[in-house]
Amino acid sequence: MPGVLGALLCGAGIAVQARINGQLGAELGDGYVASVISFGTGMILMLLILAISKPGRRGIRIIHDDLRAGRMPWWMVMGGASGALFVLSQGLSAGLLGIAVFTVAVVFGQTLSGLAVDRRGIGSTPPRAITTARIAGSAMMLVAVVLVVSTQFLGTVPLWLVVLPFLAGLAIPWQQAANGEVRVISGSPVTATVLNFVVGLTLLVGVTAVHSMYAGLPALYPTNPVLYLGGVIGAGFIGLGAILAPRIGVLLLALGTISGQLIVALLLDIVTPAAGHPLAWTTVVGTAITLVALAVAMVPSHVLRGPKGTRKP
């Protein structure tokens, strides 16, 4: 299915972006500034694309008019807030946790949130049934996450470094659904992606400004140009996610995205392991369990009954 392949590509992009932003944050010694740089480069790219995209500019006017007229709730354009949290978590924790542990923590939050958002539905993304297989797959995810992060708790890594990417994972499906709705209403993925970056960058600049008042700004910046590509990669998977969410549903998008993240994350930790963080056997086994869990969650099975005993559609 082309949609699933696209979701895998989104996941691959997220994993690569996490490694880049994590390394940038580590070299800067400031994850806040790293997140602003990531969102800023993505914003510059999207503004250039918007300048040559008539559908994108028309979509901005449509969203503006709908917001002013009250035809569209304001929170629908706030998907970038979730993106800001995710990128900030990359800059603060990915380099310390290692990309695989970071990704599995994101995966668990993403799976739980994907179930909830798919069950509820957002706008043109219709509700989808919660099956026993999906619940079983989510439970297996929990086991896998506990296994993978167990070795981290024995060291000096603080708990919040694992909680932060988990919270970011919780926000991803909602971001994808909200951006997907903006794409449907505006008629352009460029519009959805630009608004995502505007909101996210605004929030990150504000948070970073407060942080820099106490910690200051980095004196030296890396010269490796690859470390400044996180935002460009983000623009790609945010736009693709906005296209896919209304078509294949948030949970299926999350499952495919997770699979892509895990595959690429393990490859990155094997080929270019994070400094001071060798790949542990628990990470390999735990990631394998998550892949099995994803397969189980995708198996059609009995639909859970609602409060009055009726089957959910």
- pLDDT tens sequence across 215-264: 899 988 999 999 999 999 999 988 888 888 777 777 777 777 877 877 78
What's the pLDDT score for residue 312? 45
73, 7, 198, 111 alpha-carbon torsion, rounded to 10°: 60
Contacts of 92 (CB under 8 A, 6+ apart): 25, 31, 32, 161, 164
The per-residue pLDDT for range 129-145, each reduced to its tens digit, is 777 877 787 778 777 76
Q: What is the distance between the alpha carbons of residues 108 and 169, in angstroms, rounded to a whole number?
A: 7
Kindly tell me if the per-residue pLDDT of 274 is higher than 70. no
Contacts of 41 (CB under 8 A, 6+ apart): 228, 229, 230, 231, 232
Find the mean pLDDT for residues 34-60.
94
- Confidence band for 44, pLDDT divided at 50, 70 and 90: very high
Beta bridge partners of 125: 122
Find the mean pLDDT for residues 33-47.
93
How many C-beta atoms lie closer than 10 Å to residue 123's C-beta? 17
Kindly tell me if the per-residue pLDDT of 20 is higher than 60. yes
Q: Is the dihedral of CA 180, 251, 99, 203 positive or negative?
A: positive
Alpha helices in the chain (DSSP H): 2-28, 31-52, 54-69, 79-89, 95-97, 99-120, 132-153, 159-186, 189-215, 230-248, 250-271, 281-297
Top-confidence residue, 300 or 117:
117
The whole model's pTM is what? 0.78
Compute the mean pLDDT over every residue in the chain, rounded to the nearest whole number: 81
Kindly tell me if the per-residue pLDDT of 125 is higher than 60. yes
The per-residue pLDDT for range 101-116, each reduced to its tens digit, is 777 788 778 878 877 8
Q: What is the distance between the alpha carbons of residues 58 and 225, in angstroms, rounded to a whole number?
A: 33
The per-residue pLDDT for range 172-201, each reduced to its tens digit, is 888 888 888 899 999 999 999 999 999 999
Find the mean pLDDT for residues 24-33.
90
Nearest one of 26, 15, 27, 161 to 93, comparing CA atoms? 161
